[in-house]
Homo-oligomer: A and B are copies of this chain.
Amino acid sequence: MLKFEDLEEKPISTQKIFDGNILHVAVDTVSLPNGNESTREYVTHLGAVGIVPVTDEGEMIIEHQFRYPLHRVITEIPAGKLDSASEEPLAAAKRELLEETGIVADEWIDLGEYHPAAAYCSEKLTLYLAKGLHMGDQKLDTDEFLNIEKVPMADVIEDVLSGKITDGKTVCAVLRAAVQLGYLVKK
């Protein structure tokens, strides 16, 4: 069995392919553990945050958003990109929750990190549970259109487990929050 240090792929050269507003694409030539050369196509991304906002009554704020790559509306937790590589994830989470839903939360619980597609994308999301919710002012980005709904947390968990909700950050964050809040109990 290979040791961890024997799995490493070392960069030889980088070819920049695309420098967009959101996506940055490159192809690197790399040296493999067996000494062969190969290429790695990958996307670099600033990083993002996702939030599970739950009311004192056990209701969750979810969003329905049109996702262009899938050509349909899907159900998601509030989420958004970091403004810059140096923005603190918690600050970004507070900003995004307020912008998208108009909600301010008194209590923030870290639900850990999530790598959506480590094989080809550097993006890391930091996930949070937000409690003690009250209303501020919703301030959607230009070009952002959302349908926001308040749903019993137990129903969202059911939809995540049944596969009705498929959005990755939503599945991860909701199930970690479900254990945190006692909706799912370890046997």
Closest to A30 in B: B68
Contact B143 A38 (CB under 8 A): yes
Residue A59 interfacial (CB < 8 Å)? no
Q: Assuming A69-B118, A185-B185, is B3 touching A147 (CB within 8 A)? A: yes
Copies of this protein in the assembly total 2
Q: Number of residues in A with C-beta < 8 Å to the partner?
A: 81
> CB < 8 Å: which of B18, B32, B124 contacts A143?
B32
A112-126 near B? 1/0 per residue, CB < 8 Å: 111111111111100
A residues sitting closer than 8 Å to B (CB atoms) are 1-4, 6-9, 17-18, 20-23, 25, 27-28, 30, 32-34, 36, 38-45, 64-70, 73-74, 76, 110-124, 142-143, 145-148, 154, 157, 161-163, 166-169, 171-172, 175-176, 179, 182-187
